[in-house]
């Protein structure tokens, strides 16, 4: 695996100098300052390459921009409303500009309205560290009582709805605002969360879009952009829903192995692939991560390696971001499956036999605490995770664990 690191640009408190010291050789980044739906210009792309390639003292970092995460699929594109056709054409132009600059892997997602969703961005751990957490009871308190979404109560079990009411009743105004802010944080790398009115407006525009309609719109998007990606030599890879189940009454269509197989079969093209995120998919007990890698591995273009610990075996439930080797996903078995896939690709002569990966998310520990990094992206916590993953990789490479 090619070891990369997520970087949000010059404002990221983890600097390019830091990334060279943690041992990553590539960078995963995006132009978060460019509005969604607007073309990523050659000039802005070249600027990001220069930023990645240069240390603070002006010397070369040796790092390269390996993966775009993400080139956004706009809400108009997902809903097929407004300027969606123009956005698709702009998407194709952005892909071409990225490929002309040397970037070949583009990650994106098809989640409606909200991207990753958490109820607590700095949940206290027994060891004194902190991490991100999704609590279904707190989320229901937001959905039913703060957002006041019509019919929200019917989407939860009686036990969850009752606990949500109790928790909402215990919140003061500051607590209510904090919960709303956490849930509506928006895209990683963004500087503002959505207002409650923004969320309500988006939800109203999805009122007639079923899961079947959203899947059809997704296939239309793929049929429009994948041929261009293939011509360019670009690999597109869809990130799973996070968490992998419906929220706010909205359909989510990339939550399971079956969802991915349907999407990959619908537009069967080497350029149409998967971002395997072990944390997002691992939040559902019915997702077998090593098995998914074994069965769909030839279409995996990018890897997010992280772990979550579920509170129970409920299909829609609570979880927190665990240590990379400490959650419910068997990370050793998953990495072994990845190594086997890379060996198969190399034997077949595939140019993409080395799959880019990044240590995803991390717990805030040591000097991370109090630094207020991008939620989920502390420097030391991710470095610890990368070291753990590297240890597994080295053991597999030397046959200590077997492959």
What residues are labeled active site?
Answer: 239, 277, 304, 360-361, 377
Smallest Cα–Cα separation from 284: which of 257, 305, 304, 306? 257
| CA dihedral sign, ordered 117, 123, 126, 129 | positive
Say if residue 121 is exposed, middle or buried (CB neighbours under 10 Å; 0-12, 13-18, 19+): middle
User: 360: which 2 tokens?
Assistant: 């995803």
Residue 391: Cβ within 10 Å count: 12
Compute the distance between CA of residue 387 and CA of residue 107 in angstroms, rounded to an integer: 24
Distance CA 203, CA 205 (A): 5
CA 248 to CA 263: how far, in whole Å? 23
E strands, 146-186, are none
C-alpha span between 109 and 72 (Å, rounded): 7
**Residue of 155, 126, 150, 122 whose CA lies nearest to 139:** 155
Q: Lay out the sheet containing 307-310: strands in order across.
A: 120-124, 130-134, 319-322, 307-310
DSSP-assigned states of every residue in 330-373: -HHHHHHHHHHHHHHHHHTT-TT-SPEEEE----B-GGGTTS-P
On the CB side of 303, how many CA atoms lie within 13 Å of its CA? 30
How long, in residues, is the chain? Answer: 403
Distance CA 82, CA 85 (A): 8
Task: Write out the DSSP string of 256-284.
Answer: SHHHHHHHHHHT--TTEEEEEEHHHHHTS
What is the CB neighbour count within 10 angstroms for residue 351?
8
CA angle at 105 for the pair 101 and 108, rounded to the nearest 5°: 115
């Amino acid at each position: 695996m090619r070891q990369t690191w997520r970087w949000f640009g010059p404002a990221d408190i983890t600097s390019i100098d830091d990334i060279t010291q943690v041992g990553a050789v590539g960078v995963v980044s995006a132009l978060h300052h460019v509005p969604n739906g607007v073309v990523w210009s050659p000039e802005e792309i070249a600027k990001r390459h220069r930023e990645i390639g240069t240390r603070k003292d002006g010397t070369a970092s040796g790092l390269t921009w390996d993966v775009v995460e993400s080139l956004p699929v706009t809400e108009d594109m997902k809903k097929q409303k407004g300027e969606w056709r123009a956005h698709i054409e702009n998407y194709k132009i952005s892909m071409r500009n990225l490929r002309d600059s040397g970037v070949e892997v583009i990650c994106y997602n098809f989640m409606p309205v909200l991207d990753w969703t958490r109820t607590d961005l700095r949940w206290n751990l027994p060891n004194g560290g902190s991490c991100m957490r999704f609590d279904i009871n707190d989320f229901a308190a937001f959905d039913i009582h703060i957002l006041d979404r019509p019919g929200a109560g019917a989407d939860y079990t009686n036990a969850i709805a009752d606990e949500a009411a109790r928790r909402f009743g215990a919140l003061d105004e500051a607590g209510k605002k904090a919960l709303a802010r956490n849930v509506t944080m928006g895209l990683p790398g963004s500087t503002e969360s959505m207002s409650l009115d923004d969320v309500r407006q988006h939800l109203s525009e999805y009122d007639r879009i079923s899961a079947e309609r959203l899947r059809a719109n997704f296939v239309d998007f793929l049929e429009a952009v994948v041929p261009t990606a293939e011509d360019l030599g670009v690999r597109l890879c869809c990130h799973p829903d996070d968490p992998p189940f419906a929220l706010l009454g909205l359909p989510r269509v990339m939550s399971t192995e079956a969802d991915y197989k349907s999407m990959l079969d619908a537009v069967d093209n080497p350029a149409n692939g998967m971002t395997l995120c072990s944390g997002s998919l691992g939040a559902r007990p019915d997702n077998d991560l090593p098995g998914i890698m074994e069965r769909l591995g030839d279409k995996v273009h990018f890897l997010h390696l992280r772990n979550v610990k579920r509170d129970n075996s409920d299909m829609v439930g609570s979880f927190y971001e665990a240590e990379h080797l400490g959650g419910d996903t068997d990370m050793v078995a998953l990495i072994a499956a990845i190594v086997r896939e890379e060996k198969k690709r190399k034997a077949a002569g595939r140019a993409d036999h080395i799959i880019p990966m990044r240590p995803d998310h991390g717990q805030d520990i040591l000097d991370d605490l109090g630094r207020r990094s991008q939620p989920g992206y502390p420097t030391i916590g991710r470095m610890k995770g990368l070291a753990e993953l590297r240890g597994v990789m080295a053991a597999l490479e030397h046959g200590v664990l077997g492959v």
